[in-house]
Amino acid sequence: MMPSARNDRLALPQVTLCAVTSVNLSATIRALEVSLEQIAFGQCLLFTDARPERLHPSIRIVPVDRLTSSAAYSQFLLNRLVDYVTTSHCLVAQWDGHVLDATRWQSEFLEYDYIGASWPQFDDGHDVGNGGFSLRSRRLMELCRAPDFEQAHPEDLAIGRTNRAWLEAQGLRFAPRELADAFSAERRADVRRTFGYHGAFRMPDAIGPERFWDVYKDLDDIGTVRHDFFSIARDMWPMRNALARISRLAADCLLLPLRRKARKS
């Protein structure tokens, strides 16, 4: 069932909610819907080559050519997304990253040009952050296609590390790690305390294993899930029929790629 918008939604007219995808369309629409259920955004844009049969009335489809790789996704976000965003900020979501609890929104988030879940693997101060669920200013988005911006893939590393020093030299502000960990959970923060999250491996904990399984069954591209099989399987043990479902997950993530490789050889 499509979630219905609440009358007490948080109003963020200065923020555009966006998602860009050619795969896992139903899961991406669901991520936008659960965010829209809690927040009234300035607008909500879904960039895709697909034509969904049902759609939340607040979601506007923007037709694009099919994105054939993650590098094409990065290129779109860095160079084309800004053409469609008229608000001061854009909230980027993905099928495995969306709003968890709008009551955890902080107005301070809008004081920064970029904020996403922190990266614990970096200790040089350039550790913010993940782009899969991220808030970025329109000013930052304009600078991402400036001649002096070094284009790179993935796009969040291009922003948060490769070009961070240059972006800061232009006067842009990256959120500090502590605020980033209140904004979103990926590798470090607690999903029970954050505004949103990103990562298929966080989904069973963030939305519950049963709801995760409902999302998983509709995926047409399990590439992201495959890399995090063991983390997901661990969090699925409390489910009903856990063994059968983990067995299917294992077949999808571990055996199916081997069978496809064998057929090609």
Tens-place pLDDT, residues 204-234: 999 999 999 999 999 998 887 888 888 888 8
How far apart CA 165 and CA 154 sit, in angstroms, is 17
Tens-place pLDDT, residues 63-84: 999 999 999 999 999 999 999 9
pTM score? 0.92
- Residue 175 falls within a domain, yes or no? yes
- Residue 236 falls within a domain, yes or no? yes
- Residue 4 falls within a domain, yes or no? no
Name the domain boundary from 198, 222, 247.
198
Instruction: Please name which of 75, 159, 77 lies closest in space to residue 112, comparing C-alpha atoms.
Output: 159
Domain region containing 253: 205-264
How far apart CA 5 and CA 229 sit, in angstroms, is 33
Domain count, the chain: 2
Same domain, 102 and 216: no
Same domain, 102 and 224: no
Tens-place pLDDT, residues 150-171: 999 999 999 999 999 999 999 9
Instruction: Please name which of 229, 232, 230 lies closest in space to residue 209, comparing C-alpha atoms.
Output: 232
- Residue 180 falls within a domain, yes or no? yes
- DSSP assignments along 70-112, one per residue: HHHHHHHHHHTGGGG--SSEEEE-BTTB-BS-GGG--GGGGGS
Name the domain boundary from 153, 170, 198.
198
How far apart CA 249 and CA 243 sit, in angstroms, is 10
Same domain, 173 and 53: yes
* pLDDT recorded at residue 259: 46
CA atoms within 13 A on the CB side of 236: 25
How far apart CA 105 and CA 38 sit, in angstroms, is 11
Same domain, 184 and 162: yes
